[in-house]
Amino acid sequence: MNLRLKPGRRTLLQLVSALLLTPWQAWAAIWNKPAFEMDNADVAGQELQGNSATHSREIEIVAPKSVAHGEAAQIEIMSRIAGTEAIAIFAEKNPVPLVANFTFSHGAQPYIVTRIKLAGSQKVEAVVKAGGQYYQASRYIRVRKGTAG
C-alpha cells in the first residue's frame, strides 16, 4: 500500500493535526491576545482581569534582587490561595508588560518557574485569579549596567 501524499494534502493533514494536538492552554493564550499586545501595565491588567487586585501574602515570589543587563531573571511564583485558576506576570517597564499568563487545571499545583528579560530595573508583579477574585504580589528587581557573562 502506497501512502504517498501530495504536498497540498500533506500540508492540510499537518495543519489539522497541529490544530487537534494544540493544548487548550495555548488557545487560552490566543484568547487573551489583546492583553499581551498592550504597552501599558495598568491597561493590560484591566484587559486581563477586568478589575482591581488585592495584595496577598499568600503569593510567594522568588526572584533575584538584581540581574545583569541582558540577562534573564529566573522567577518562581507559588500561590497558596485556594482555588487558584491562573497566574499572570507583569513587568511594568517592558515594551509588552504582560510577560506571561499561566492557567491551571483543577487540582494542579499553582507553582511556576520561568525566565524573563527585563527592560530596566522595575517591579515584577504576579496577579493570581482564584474564585473569581484577583490577588497580587510584587518584587523589585534591579538591572545592573554591563552585560551578562
Instruction: Name the pTM for this structure.
Output: 0.66
d(CA 81, CA 55): 12
Contact 65, 141 (CB under 8 A): yes
Asked if the structure places residue 19 within a domain, the reply is no
Asked if the structure places residue 122 within a domain, the reply is yes
CATH number at residue 116: 2.60.40.2470
Residue-level pLDDT at 10: 59
pLDDT tens per residue, range 20-55: 554 544 545 444 555 555 555 555 455 454 457 889
Asked if the structure places residue 32 within a domain, the reply is yes
Residue-level pLDDT at 82: 93
CA angle 75, 137, 99 (to 5 degrees): 45
pLDDT tens per residue, range 60-103: 999 999 999 989 999 999 999 999 999 999 998 998 888 999 99
d(CA 9, CA 61): 48
Asked if the structure places residue 47 within a domain, the reply is yes
Q: What is the mean pLDDT of the chain?
A: 78
Q: Which amino acid is at 2?
A: N
In this predicted structure, the answer to whether residue 139 has a pLDDT above a threshold of 90 is yes
Residue-level pLDDT at 27: 44
The Cα-based distances of 25 to 13, 21, 64, 141, 149 in angstroms read 22, 11, 28, 28, 34
DSSP class of residue 35 equals: H
Residue 19 or residue 113, greater confidence: 113
DSSP class of residue 146 equals: S
Asked if the structure places residue 6 within a domain, the reply is no
pLDDT tens per residue, range 5-29: 445 555 555 555 555 554 544 545 4
Asked if the structure places residue 43 within a domain, the reply is yes
Asked if the structure places residue 116 within a domain, the reply is yes
How many distinct structural domains can be found in the chain? 1
pLDDT band (50, 70, 90) for residue 114: very high
Asked if the structure places residue 2 within a domain, the reply is no
Domain that holds residue 89: 24-144
Q: Which residues contact 81 (CB under 8 A, 6 or more apart)?
A: 56, 58, 59, 110, 128, 130, 135
